[in-house]
Amino acid sequence: MNAEEIAAELKAACIYREGNSGAPQRIADILGLSRRTVYDVLDGRIRVSLAFIKAAFQATGGDPAITRLLAPEGWQLVRSGINPDDCKPTLAEELLGDLPALAAYHKALADPGSSRGEVLRAKQRIEAEIEKDLARVCADRGWSP
């Protein structure tokens, strides 16, 4: 994509896209430029800089068209201070989230009529399921068990 195409994409996102009204003024405020200079960049009279693209991204609240200019295909931008790994389930949540054997074990523990052998077998089923799930999760994350 050349500079003129980038400027045209920015102009469409900043001026013509619904929801981005006032973006040129916000870009001017972010970069300390006059609004006229911002329009000159959007019209292609002044070459677009990376700082300008970043300011346009901020001014539009992360418009998808501008995001595509900043992030390579298949990648996504994340606000600073947010770790994408924090959004993933923890290892414990992933392993213990859906274990029918865990429910059976708690049921056996809570039932006064359960024999010691039933509780032990329920515990062994949990251990087997956790071991199987651990191997799956490790493989999914590229870890060796």
Q: Are 7 and 41 in contact (CB under 8 A)?
A: yes
Mean pLDDT of the chain: 82
Same domain, 92 and 124: yes
pTM: 0.54
CA distance 15 to 13: 6
Give the pLDDT score at 109. Answer: 77
Q: Are 99 and 134 in contact (CB under 8 A)?
A: no
For residue 129, tell me if it sits in a domain.
yes
Q: Are 70 and 62 in contact (CB under 8 A)?
A: no
pLDDT in tens, 19-35: 888 999 999 999 999 99
pLDDT band at 45 (very low <50, low <70, confident <90, very high): very high
For residue 81, tell me if it sits in a domain.
no
Tokens found for residue 55: 């300011």
pLDDT in tens, 98-127: 567 777 777 777 788 888 888 888 888 888
Q: Are 69 and 36 in contact (CB under 8 A)?
A: no
For residue 63, tell me if it sits in a domain.
yes
For residue 83, tell me if it sits in a domain.
no
97 Cβ partners below 8 Å, 6+ apart?
Answer: 89
The total of structural domains in the chain comes to 2
Give the pLDDT score at 92. Answer: 55
Indicate whether 135 pLDDT > 60: yes
> Residue 12's CB: how many other CB atoms inside 10 A?
15
CA distance 51 to 89: 35
Q: Are 17 and 63 in contact (CB under 8 A)?
A: yes
Query: Which residue among 22, 37, 70 closes a domain?
Result: 70
Give the pLDDT score at 26. Answer: 94
Range of the domain at 43: 3-70
Indicate whether 47 pLDDT > 60: yes
For residue 50, tell me if it sits in a domain.
yes
Same domain, 62 and 117: no
